[in-house]
Amino acid sequence: MGALQHIFKRAVTVFLLCGGISQPIWAQEATLEDLLAQLADPATENWQQIERQIRTEWSRSGSAAMDLLLQRGEEALEASEFDVAFEHFSALTDHAPDFAEGWNLRATALFQQGYYGPALEDLRRALALNPQHFGALTGLAVILQDTQLFDEALEVWHMVEAMHPHRPEMRQAIEALEQKVGGARL
């Protein structure tokens, strides 16, 4: 019965997508916790879509003005205008200090400028607000690795892996660090 149900779900999905609906009805009702659970499952095949949905949820501040600051900061990051991005994200964190994504992206702008200490502080704030933020954890792992804190970086990479086991670059980082620190995890 499971295979038949799987085929039926795929057929309904194709039908809905051909009809102009951007996602299956059952995906529209998924909560953030459901999405995070699906992403954590190594067998999940459509992990890119799930990751996008999670990031979209994390990017909603609840305020149009804050969302505009976020958008402008992201555009500046994409244009490698890290000081401009930092200014937008600083305004965002000043006005919405409980919005984890503002802290995470400000940390990214700081990291890109080589300011690891302040970036770590912003990542700490982001993770205090959203402990499941695999993007912030990834940033933390990269900084720890760059500063040659290999044991700590490996520990954080394993935390990321438990939440989001799909990214090949994460697996490569873990394998390289396991060699550096003297062996694979049991």
N residues, the chain: 186
Domains observed in the chain? 1-30 (no CATH), 32-46+132-186 (no CATH), 61-125 (1.25.40.10)
Report angle CA 95, 98, 103 to the nearest 5 degrees: 80
> Phi, psi (5° rounding) for residue 98?
-100, 15
Helices and strands in the chain: count of H runs, count of E runs: 11, 0
- What is the model's pTM? 0.80
How many whole angstroms separate alpha carbon 59 and alpha carbon 126? Answer: 13
Q: pLDDT tens, 105-117?
A: 999 999 999 999 9
d(CA 186, CA 183): 9
Q: pLDDT tens digits, the chain, 186 residues: what are they?
A: 454 444 434 433 433 444 444 444 444 457 999 999 999 999 999 999 999 999 999 999 999 999 999 999 999 999 999 999 999 999 999 999 999 999 999 999 999 999 999 999 999 999 999 999 999 999 999 999 999 999 999 999 999 999 999 998 999 999 999 999 886 554
How far from each other are the two terminal CA atoms of the chain, in whole angstroms? 37
